Amino acid sequence: MLASTNHASAPAQPTNEELYERQFAKGFSSLRFDPPLEAEYRQALATEQRPAALLSGGVTLVIWAAFVVFDFVRLDVFNKGVEGADLWFLISGRGVTLIAIAILMAAQLRFRMPLGITALSVYCLVASVAAINAIIYKSHGIPAAEPALVVVVMAAFLPLGLVFSRALLASLVPVVAAAIAGVVLLNDTSRTGQFGLVFVLAMAVPVGSIGGYMRELAHRRQFLLTGMYARQAQFDPLTDLANRRLFHRHANAAISHAARNDEPVVLAMIDIDHFKLFNDNFGHAAGDDALCVVADAIRNAARRPMDMATRLGGEEFALLLYGSDMDRARPVLEALRDRIAATTPPKPGAKGVNISIGATMPGPGESLMEVYQRADRLLYASKTAGRDRITEG
């Protein structure tokens, strides 16, 4: 295997695709990924479910506003006023909750607060106040749709941007609120029937959680599969460099951006010299090792955010250096050529690999294809001139 003569090879860091594959093989029945993937999954979950969560929040706001009006009419507040601290809590609690929902929704829309925090806050506030108000009505002998609290419990498992563990904890809020309010506000006779309501609400938690668990399990599986397939569609499986498809998309954007901002770009085409002969002499396994060594060197040369290292196919690579003119790119390409030439051959006494490079810069109004073809001609010129060299143009 080829290795650098300057330092020992460091352990390779797993690629994103490998992280997805390892997690898929490891399993996730606990609905928890390893930390890097877990953070990525939660971000993806929030992005995907944000429209549904905002819609649910808007519907909740409208329904809650209707309940505020209904409470004033039902209790005939304008004619009879409000008697008792508990009814004051009912009226003020509805109003404060309505204002809080509106503020949280506005903050989510304007400042894009973390969706999970917003959804959890809105749900817990609505669920707890709804449960307590139902008990307050019952304590005054006013009919209330207590069974509707079952819907509130199960609503925690809707696609609101909450992971299952948070949804499960949130679903317990109306159960606990109803239980505590029943003990505090109801007399002994009414409290007996209240136990039945709390029991039904408690039973709604596992029923709703089964669906929530299965949905998130399937969603996490799809997340991993999508990640694996996306990597496979855009990156070379051997070297983990960008493939030709991703390179064309990125290079087109980079050249257009550079033209708009009057910034330089260098495109270098790179080819391993006599690679077929190398494969014939040392075997395809050694050839794969050589490709990976060259790929690592090219990857290390692409240091800036807009740079890109690419395997175009076979032994041919490309390096896009954004923000570099030829004077600044030349030392980078020379260092790259020297580093690869200094690698240890696979067998004692054998010769290692060298590379030939053709490098150019886009002219005014030139397309990627025109720049690409000129760099390819310059690469061919390097090869016909004896290989192991850089030709600029």
* Percent of residues, the chain, with pLDDT higher than 70: 94
Higher pLDDT, 193 or 29: 29
pLDDT band of 8, cuts 50, 70, 90: very low
Sequence-ordered list of residues with C-beta below 8 angstroms from that of 28, at least 6 positions apart, any chain: 217, 220, 221, 224
> What are the sequence ranges of the domains in the chain?
16-233, 244-392
Q: Give the least confident one: 33-37, 188-192, 225-229, 307-311.
A: 188-192
Would you call 266 helix, strand, or coil by DSSP?
strand
pLDDT band of 249, cuts 50, 70, 90: very high
Pull the structure tokens for residue 161.
């941007």
Return the closest-CA partner of residue 289 out of 333, 352, 336: 352
Pick the CATH number of 244-392 from 3.30.300.340, 3.30.70.100, 2.30.30.90, 3.30.70.270: 3.30.70.270
Q: pLDDT per residue over 338-350, tens digit each?
A: 999 887 665 555 5
List beta partners, residue 251: none
Residue 99 has pLDDT above 70, yes or no: yes
Q: What's the mean per-residue pLDDT of the chain?
A: 89
pLDDT at 1: 43
pLDDT at 83: 81
DSSP labels, 291-353:
HHHHHHHHHHH--STT-EEEEEETTEEEEEEET--HHHHHHHHHHHHHHHHTSBPSSTT----
User: For residues 393 and 273, is the Cβ–Cβ distance under 8 A?
Assistant: no
Pull the structure tokens for residue 304.
């800036």
Residue 151 has pLDDT above 80, yes or no: yes
Residue 12 has pLDDT above 50, yes or no: no
pLDDT at 113: 81
Report d(CA 156, CA 383) in Å as an integer: 66
Q: pLDDT per residue over 202-221, tens digit each?
A: 999 999 999 999 999 999 99
Q: Give the least confident one: 138-147, 271-280, 379-388.
A: 138-147
Residue 336 has pLDDT above 90, yes or no: yes
- Give the number of C-alpha atoms closer than 13 A to the C-alpha of residue 159, restricted to the C-beta side: 15
317-336 average pLDDT score: 95
pLDDT at 75: 87
pLDDT at 264: 95
Q: Give the least confident one: 71-80, 165-174, 182-191.
A: 182-191
Sequence-ordered list of residues with C-beta below 8 angstroms from that of 100, at least 6 positions apart, any chain: 121, 122, 125
Residue 11 has pLDDT above 80, yes or no: no
* Percent of residues, the chain, with pLDDT higher than 90: 68
Burial of 186 (0-12, 13-18, 19+ CB in 10 A): middle
- CA-angle at 362, arms to 358 and 368, nearest 5°: 85
Q: Give the least confident one: 185-189, 245-249, 260-264.
A: 185-189
List beta partners, residue 390: 357
Report d(CA 51, CA 56) in Å as an integer: 9
Q: pLDDT per residue over 274-321, tens digit each?
A: 999 888 888 888 889 889 989 999 999 998 989 999 999 999 999 999
pLDDT at 283: 86
